Amino acid sequence: MSRIEATFQHLKAKGRKALIPYVTAGFPFADVTPELMHAMVAAGADVIELGVPFSDPSADGPVIQKAGDKALAFGIGTTHVIDMVKAFRQTDTTTPVVLMGYANPIERYDLKHGKDGFIRDASAAGIDGVLVVDYPPEECVEFAAKLRAHNMDLIFLLAPTSTDQRMQQVADVASGYVYYVSLKGVTGSGALNTDEVEAMFPAFAKKSASLWVLALAFAMPKRLKPLPRWPMPW
């Protein structure tokens, strides 16, 4: 059983929703990330999403863009991010870690380290899943299968604008959980429609048994008030 699956089963037994915070690797300082990850777990994180810095993060808003730019200025790349997870795993072998980023750093890593080098090294480091923003599900069936062979999940995004066809394509390939983008626009947008979000749960549940993870900005606590009445995403 994967760490992601074990974590969600444990949460289900306790009647809890998962808290999955995000942090950009190498921000605000190049060497602080493993320490931040441990602090997130101590503060209640159930899963950690670790952002891989990239120069053209097309789906991210200005806050994450600036964090990535600073990490890149420190020289942080995919190899460093994998090493950060290795360091974290020295004292935490239970908390799932999901890398979140873009196709370019993964493909550049493979060019440098050999075919499927990213999958090999990510698995060895103790990474549990990968969310690649610009990998469409219909183009990465083989990549998803290779990840699963190394006990890692390929996680996909869905949005309020996702069609039934897109939801089915994601359902056919996704594992671990599905990351539902609650906002129309880039990360940090304020355009949250809670009724629209709630309506998507049953629509996707008909297509897949995958778990839901709802992406929310915590800058506005009032956005979280509807959560207790929403169904458990499993």
| Catalytic center residues | 49, 60
Task: Supply φ then ψ for residue 60, to 5 degrees.
Answer: -105, 150
- Distance of CA 75 to CAs 109, 133, 162, 166, 194, Å? 15, 22, 36, 36, 39
Contacts of 155 (CB under 8 A, 6+ apart): 98, 129, 130, 131, 174, 175, 176, 177, 178, 179
Hey, how many other C-beta atoms are within 10 angstroms of the C-beta on 109? 21
Q: How far is CA 144 from CA 65, 91, 95, in A?
A: 27, 28, 21
Residue 217 DSSP one-character state = -
As a whole number of Å, the CA-based R_g of the chain is 17
Question: Residue 186 has which token pair?
Answer: 């880039």
- Rounded to whole angstroms, the Cα distance separating 72 from 67 reads 9
Gap between the Cα atoms of 72 and 66, Å rounded: 10
